[in-house]
């Protein structure tokens, strides 16, 4: 009986507590469901969202507007103050009391109160030129390191050695031309062997010039002197190139052979592109056929325009079809220059190239070896070319010219230029 009485009293107290809390629940539900409460809740959330998106940048902008007009050094955004160029310029030939006007060309006039802010970061404006050459050299070393890393990741993993053949002879413009090709070779990022063949024998002038390159060079000479006619020069230069190819065979130099005349101009893309050749390749050569006599050159151009021909720069190189297969060759059209081309080196007339210039061909040096692994059978022996009077191009080395590999987007990209500009043969500059 006592147990049942206790259970009834507990249940009665629990039911009374439920009845007391019922009005509170109903009031809270009605408060939540009221339109005013929902409206303010939504408005509060919208304001929070807007503040989240725009509030931070707006507060930073207001901060800069308020404190950027201050002239005190404590509000400077930069860790170091600007340097005044006027204090770095010394004029030893002018007294200190004399006012000196400093030119403003190619120079930034810094202002300690000026600030450039992009977003949340300040940009430090340095004077130009940079006052510290050590910092400039550090920047160049960083750029060089970045380029080296890019070549290591995206370039050729195992680049082959380049074997560059250059025929030359002592003349007025030799230093001009040979320095240009030497500087191009010094910029090549691959191992390089430079074979320089000199007409008339090895001279100290040429040896001292190529020694400045610090490249691995092979300097040899031929006894025959360079003829005064362009036809004779073309024939002798072909024999000089064959002499260099025999050196490649005798020394068993392994790499890619290219022909770089001392007056040609080369794009740095050429040295990357020829790494793709397997055995024998060809690139397009832009022909810069200029005349020493301006009137004669203009008359030739006028005749070409009247004939309705294209006056664009002529190009020698491989011709491909839509399938990027070799179908022929683009050659230089010499008909507009009939009876107006130069015969001798000192003639003031247009210098014409050969039908196909050597500068447009590259080959694997293993083609020249007596015994080489996987050497193709469509290659002539180098000894067979010694009996030929005139060798037009390296295509004489091939039994089947269809095996040539067109490079440079199948010949559509010009990455080497042919040019012949010489002084009079009796010129005495420089001395010796």
**Exposed, middle or buried: residue 364 (CB in 10 Å: 0-12, 13-18, 19+)?**
buried
- Cα end-to-end distance, the chain, whole Å: 141
Q: What is the mean pLDDT of residues 247-272?
A: 93
Q: What is the mean pLDDT of residues 167-175?
A: 89
Instruction: State residue 356's pLDDT score.
Output: 87
Q: What share of the chain is helix, strand, coil (3-state, %, to 5)?
A: 40, 15, 40
Angle between helices 174-186 and 204-211 (to 10 degrees): 30
For every residue of 90-135, DSSP letters joined together read --TTS-TTS--PPP-TT-----TT--EEETTEEE----SS-S-HHH
- The residue among 278, 196, 246 whose CA lies nearest residue 381 is 246
288: tokens are 């810069």
For every residue of 263-315, DSSP letters joined together read T-EE-HHHHHHGGG-SSEEE-EEEEE---SSHHHHHHHHHHHHHTT---SPPE
Instruction: State residue 58's pLDDT score.
Output: 65
**Contact by Cβ (8 Å): 258, 162:** yes
Domain spans of the chain, in order of start: 143-290+311-418
Q: What DSSP state is assigned to residue 159?
A: P
| 257/36: higher pLDDT | 257
Compute how many other C-beta atoms are within 10 angstroms of the C-beta atom of residue 21. Answer: 10
Instruction: State residue 7's pLDDT score.
Output: 58
Q: Which strand (E) or helix (H) includes residue 364?
A: strand 361-364
Per-residue pLDDT tens for 66-99?
A: 765 544 444 444 444 444 444 444 444 444 444 4
- The band of 254, judged by pLDDT with boundaries at 50, 70 and 90, is very high
CA distance 326 to 406: 7
CA distance 190 to 161: 6
CA distance 232 to 235: 5
Per-residue pLDDT tens for 347-373?
A: 777 777 877 889 999 999 999 998 888
Does residue 4 register a pLDDT over 50?
yes
Q: Which of 80-94, 135-149, 388-402, 418-432 has the highest mean pLDDT?
A: 135-149
Instruction: State residue 71's pLDDT score.
Output: 43
What is 143-290+311-418's CATH number? 3.90.550.10
- The band of 279, judged by pLDDT with boundaries at 50, 70 and 90, is very high
Instruction: State residue 354's pLDDT score.
Output: 78
Q: Which strand (E) or helix (H) includes residue 196?
A: strand 192-199
Tell which phi-psi region holds residue 410, choosing left (phi > 0), alpha (psi between -120 and 50) or beta: left
- The residue among 198, 206, 246 whose CA lies nearest residue 223 is 198
Instruction: State residue 92's pLDDT score.
Output: 40
Instruction: State residue 219's pLDDT score.
Output: 96
**Contact by Cβ (8 Å): 190, 162:** yes
336 φ, ψ (degrees, to nearest 5): -65, -15
Pairing of strands 116-118, 121-123: antiparallel
Q: What is the mean pLDDT of residues 168-186?
A: 91
Per the prediction, the chain carries an average pLDDT of 76
Give the SS3 label for residue 405: strand
Per-residue pLDDT tens for 304-325?
A: 444 444 456 788 999 999 888 8
Compute how many other C-beta atoms are within 10 angstroms of the C-beta atom of residue 396. Answer: 15
Instruction: State residue 229's pLDDT score.
Output: 85
Instruction: State residue 77's pLDDT score.
Output: 42
CA distance 5 to 86: 105
- The band of 164, judged by pLDDT with boundaries at 50, 70 and 90, is very high
CA distance 143 to 121: 24
Instruction: State residue 16's pLDDT score.
Output: 55
Compute how many other C-beta atoms are within 10 angstroms of the C-beta atom of residue 111. Answer: 10
- The residue among 396, 326, 327, 325 whose CA lies nearest residue 363 is 396
């Amino acid at each position: 009986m006592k147990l049942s009485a206790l259970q009834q009293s507990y249940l009665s107290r629990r039911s009374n507590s439920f009845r007391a809390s019922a009005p509170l629940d109903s009031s809270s539900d009605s408060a939540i469901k009221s339109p005013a409460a929902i409206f303010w809740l939504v408005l509060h959330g919208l304001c929070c969202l807007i503040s989240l998106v725009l509030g931070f940048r707006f507060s930073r902008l207001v901060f800069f507007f308020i404190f950027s007009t201050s002239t005190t050094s404590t509000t400077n955004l930069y860790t170091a103050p600007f340097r005044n160029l006027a204090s770095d310029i010394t004029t030893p030939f002018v007294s200190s009391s004399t006012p000196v006007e400093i030119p403003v060309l190619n120079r930034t006039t810094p202002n300690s109160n000026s600030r450039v802010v992009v977003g949340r970061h300040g940009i430090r404006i340095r004077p130009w030129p940079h006052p510290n050459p050590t910092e400039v050299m550090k920047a160049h070393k960083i750029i060089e390191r970045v380029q080296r890393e890019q070549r290591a990741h995206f370039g050729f993993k195992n680049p082959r050695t380049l074997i560059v053949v250059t025929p030359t002879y002592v003349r007025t413009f030799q230093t001009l031309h040979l320095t240009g090709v030497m500087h191009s070779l010094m910029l090549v990022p691959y191992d390089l062997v430079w074979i320089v063949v000199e007409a008339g024998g090895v001279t100290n002038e040429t040896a001292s010039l190529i020694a400045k390159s610090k490249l691995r060079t092979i300097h040899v000479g031929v006894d025959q002197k360079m003829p005064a006619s362009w036809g004779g020069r073309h024939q002798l230069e072909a024999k000089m190139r064959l002499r260099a190819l025999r050196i490649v065979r005798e020394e068993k130099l392994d790499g890619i052979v290219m022909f770089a005349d001392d007056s040609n101009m080369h794009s740095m893309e050429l040295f990357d592109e020829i790494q793709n050749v397997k055995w024998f390749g060809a690139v397009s050569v832009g022909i810069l056929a200029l005349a020493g006599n301006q009137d004669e050159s203009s008359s030739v151009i006028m005749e070409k325009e009247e004939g309705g021909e294209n006056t664009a720069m002529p190009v020698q190189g491989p011709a491909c079809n839509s399938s990027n297969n070799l179908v022929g060759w683009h050659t230089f059209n010499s008909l507009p220059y009939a009876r107006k081309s130069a015969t001798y080196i000192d003639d003031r007339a247009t210098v014409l190239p050969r039908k196909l210039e050597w500068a447009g061909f590259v080959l694997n040096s293993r083609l020249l070896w007596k015994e080489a692994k996987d050497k193709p059978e469509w290659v002539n022996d180098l000894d067979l070319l010694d009996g030929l009077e005139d060798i037009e191009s390296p295509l004489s080395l091939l039994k089947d010219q269809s095996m040539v590999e067109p490079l440079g987007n199948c010949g559509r990209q010009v990455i080497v230029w042919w040019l012949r500009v010489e002084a009079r043969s009796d010129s005495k500059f420089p001395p010796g």
